[in-house]
């Protein structure tokens, strides 16, 4: 690695602290995820949908946005993203334990349906890709109000075949809206491999809608950061949407209800594990002289303690009350006669 490449994060506008925080968040997401998989197997939580293998791009994208003003419409694997825009491990764990204090849905939604008003994380639905037209709506609001925020939305490559994606893209292109659409192409839609989902490339769909498309290596944190940052700059300059296709691989099964060995091999998964973006970013930090194995061991211990705290905290909290069932469903709760 040349000296120029070594301090690449600085030339992109990231401080050394930012770079370390990015790594911390990637690892926090990974460790949180691994704990949730164990909790589900132990019968402590009902379900978990994992984002293992996708954290690098998620965290990098979040750092490239304006976390004080942009609007975020993440999809169900985005633990690294939501942690990086301010959600806490306790809040995430409250959601997985379905407890009343969960800011995402008061313990009502499946885990992975992120929502946090204060952090401008917009609630999503279970039908995949419905968040795309929502994000386009937020971008339309930015344009109409002449405000300089952007909306950022993620979704899977399988979901990019849904009508919602295409309608959202078309509207965003026609109105030249400040929206960044990031496809987390993890090679599978449940059991369906990429080659049976899309004949061309997701990124090329941007051409048809009249805006820019960029494909990036989702395991390369700084590449994703640069791409999202440039997309944001274009959006606030009035140059419209960007479709980013971040290439990655879903290391975990689709969810805790999936047996992935029915449709792929251990060898295939191991092959992709070896390309882990978190390990790669850690190596980069070490090569820059910003990180070392001792610090890394300490970070693992700190995260283990934080995750233990989050787990124990969530486990102690009460479930939602039955009478709160209609909260946030209607503007006004329906009153009985
Ligand atoms: C409209 C709709 N169809 C089907 C489903 C069931 N479903 C949930 S996730 C999923 C796979 C989506 O694959 P992809 O978009 O690639 O995202 P990934 O799960 O791989 O991250 C499907 C089919 C759904 N939730 N919504
Ligand atoms: Mg997928």
CB-ligand 1 contact for 156 (6 Å cutoff): yes
**In the 8-state DSSP scheme, what is residue 179?**
E
Q: How many domains does the chain have?
A: 1
What pLDDT score was predicted for residue 333?
Answer: 60
Is residue 113 in contact with ligand 1, taking CB distance under 6 Å? no
Question: pLDDT digits over 216-274, tens only?
Answer: 999 999 999 999 999 999 999 999 999 999 999 999 999 999 999 999 999 999 999 99
Residue to mutate, 74, 132, 158, 251, ligand 1, most ligand atoms under 8 Å from C-beta: 158
Q: Per residue in 73-111, is it b (16+ CB within 10 Å) or e — as a string?
A: bbbbbbbbbbbbbbbebbbbbbbbbbbebbbbbbbbbbb
Average pLDDT over residues 28-40: 98
Give the closest residue (by CA) to ligand 1 atom 24. Answer: 127
Residue 264 annotated among the catalytic residues of the structure: no
With respect to residue 328, please indicate whether it lies within any of the assigned structural domains: no
From the candidates 263, 264, 272, 313, which is the catalytic residue? 263
3-state secondary structure 212-271: EEEEEECCCHHHHHHHHHHHHHHHHCCCCCEEEEEECCCCCCCCCCCCHHHCCCHHHHHH
Establish whether residue 250 lines the binding site of ligand 1, counting it when its CB lies within 6 angstroms of any ligand atom.
yes
Q: Is residue 332 part of a domain?
A: no
pLDDT at 325: 86
Give the integer Cα–Cα distance in Å for 164 and 320.
Answer: 32
Q: In this structure, are residues 59 and 25 in contact, taking their beta carbons and an 8 Å threshold?
A: yes
Nearest residue (CA) to ligand 1, atom 26? 127
pLDDT at 310 > cutoff 80: yes
Return the ligand 1 atom nearest residue 186 CA: 20
Q: Is 103 in the pocket of ligand 1 (CB under 6 A)?
A: no
Q: Is the CB of residue 157 below 6 angstroms from any atom belonging to ligand 1?
A: yes
Tokens 């006669």 appear where?
337
Q: Report the helix count and the strand count for the chain, using DSSP H and E.
A: 13, 7
Instruction: Return the exposure string of 270-301: e unless at least 16 CB atoms fall within 10 Å of the residue's CB, then b.
Output: eebeebbbbeebbebbeebebbeeeeeeebee
pLDDT digits (tens, 9 = 90+) for 181-221: 999 999 999 999 999 999 999 999 999 999 999 999 999 99
Whether residue 116 is contained in a domain is answered as yes
Q: Which atom of ligand 1 is nearest to the CA of 130?
A: 1
- The CATH code of the domain that includes 37 is 3.40.50.970
Residue 335 in this model has a pLDDT that exceeds 70: no
Q: Of 9, 48, 215, 254, which residue is the catalytic one?
A: 254
How close is the Cα of 191 to the center of ligand 2, in Å?
Answer: 9
Q: Which residues contact 187 (CB under 8 A, 6 or more apart)?
A: 157, 193, 194, 248, 249, 250
Helix axes 55-64, 221-236, angle to 10 degrees: 40
Ligand 1 centre distance from Cα of residue 127 (Å): 8
The verdict on the CB of residue 189 being under 6 Å from ligand 1 is: yes
pLDDT band at 179 (very low <50, low <70, confident <90, very high): very high
Residue 334 within a domain: no
pLDDT > 70? residue 4: no
The answer to whether the CB of 158 is under 6 A from ligand 1 is yes
CA gap 177, 175 in Å, rounded: 5
Per-residue pLDDT at 334 = 61
- Ligand 1: which residue has its CA nearest to atom 17? 156
**Would you say residue 332 has pLDDT above 80?**
no
Does the Cβ of 53 fall within 6 Å of ligand 1?
no
CB atoms under 10 Å from CB of 315, counted, come to: 14
Find out whether 232 and 142 touch, Cβ atoms under 8 Å. Answer: no
Q: How far is CA 317 from the centre of its chain?
A: 26
**pLDDT attached to residue 1:** 59
**Which tokens in the block code for residue 49?**
């949908």
- Res 316 pLDDT > 90: yes
pLDDT in tens, 107-131: 998 999 999 999 999 999 999 999 9
Residue 321 scores a pLDDT above 80 = yes
In this structure, the strands spanning 188-189 and 192-193 are antiparallel
Quick one: which atom of ligand 1 is closest to the CA of 128?
Answer: 26
Please tell me the predicted confidence (pLDDT) of residue 331.
75
pTM of the predicted model as reported, rounded to 2 decimal places: 0.96
| In a domain? residue 336 | no
Range of the domain at 130: 3-319
Is position 175 annotated as part of the catalytic site? no
Q: Which of 116, 95, 93, 37 is nearest to 320 (CA)?
A: 95
Cβ-in-10-Å burial (0-12, 13-18, 19+) of 70 comes to: buried
Residue whose CA lies nearest to ligand 1 atom number 21: 156
CA 160 – ligand 2 centroid, Å: 9
User: The tokens of 140 are what?
Assistant: 């339309």
Q: Evaluate whether residue 333 is within a structural domain.
A: no
Q: In this structure, which ligand is nearest to the CA of 254?
A: 1
120 lies in a domain?
yes
């Amino acid at each position: 690695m040349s000296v120029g490449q070594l301090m690449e994060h600085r030339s992109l506008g990231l401080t050394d602290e930012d770079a370390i925080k990015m790594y911390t968040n990637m690892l926090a997401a990974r460790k949180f995820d691994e704990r949730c998989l164990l909790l589900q197997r132990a019968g402590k939580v009902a379900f978990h949908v994992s984002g293992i293998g996708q954290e690098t791009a998620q965290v990098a994208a979040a750092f490239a946005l304006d976390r004080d003003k942009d609007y975020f419409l993440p999809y169900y694997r985005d633990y690294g993203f939501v942690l990086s825009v301010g959600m806490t491990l306790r809040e995430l764990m409250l959601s997985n334990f379905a407890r009343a204090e969960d800011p995402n849905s008061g313990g009502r939604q499946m885990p992975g349906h992120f929502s946090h008003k204060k952090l401008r994380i917009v609630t999503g639905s279970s039908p995949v890709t419905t968040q795309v037209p929502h994000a386009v709506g937020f971008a339309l609001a930015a344009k109409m109000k002449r405000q300089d925020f952007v909306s950022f939305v993620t979704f899977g490559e399988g979901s990019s075949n849904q009508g919602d994606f295409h309608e959202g893209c078309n509207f965003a292109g026609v109105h030249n809206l400040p929206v960044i659409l990031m496809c987390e192409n993890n090679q599978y839609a449940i059991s369906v491999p990429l080659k049976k989902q899309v004949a061309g490339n997701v990124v090329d769909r941007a051409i048809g809608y009249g805006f820019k498309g960029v494909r990036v290596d989702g395991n390369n944190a700084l590449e994703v950061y640069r791409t999202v940052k440039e997309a944001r700059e274009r959006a606030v300059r009035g140059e419209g949407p960007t479709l980013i296709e971040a290439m990655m691989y879903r290391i975990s099964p689709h969810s805790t209800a999936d047996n992935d060995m029915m449709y792929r091999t251990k060898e295939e998964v191991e092959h992709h594990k070896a390309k882990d973006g978190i390990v790669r970013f850690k190596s980069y930090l070490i090569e820059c002289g910003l990180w070392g194995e001792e610090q890394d061991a300490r970070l693992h211990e700190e995260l283990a303690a934080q995750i233990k705290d989050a787990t124990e905290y969530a486990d102690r909290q009460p479930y939602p009350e039955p009478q709160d069932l209609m909260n946030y469903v209607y503007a006004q709760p329906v009153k009985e006669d």
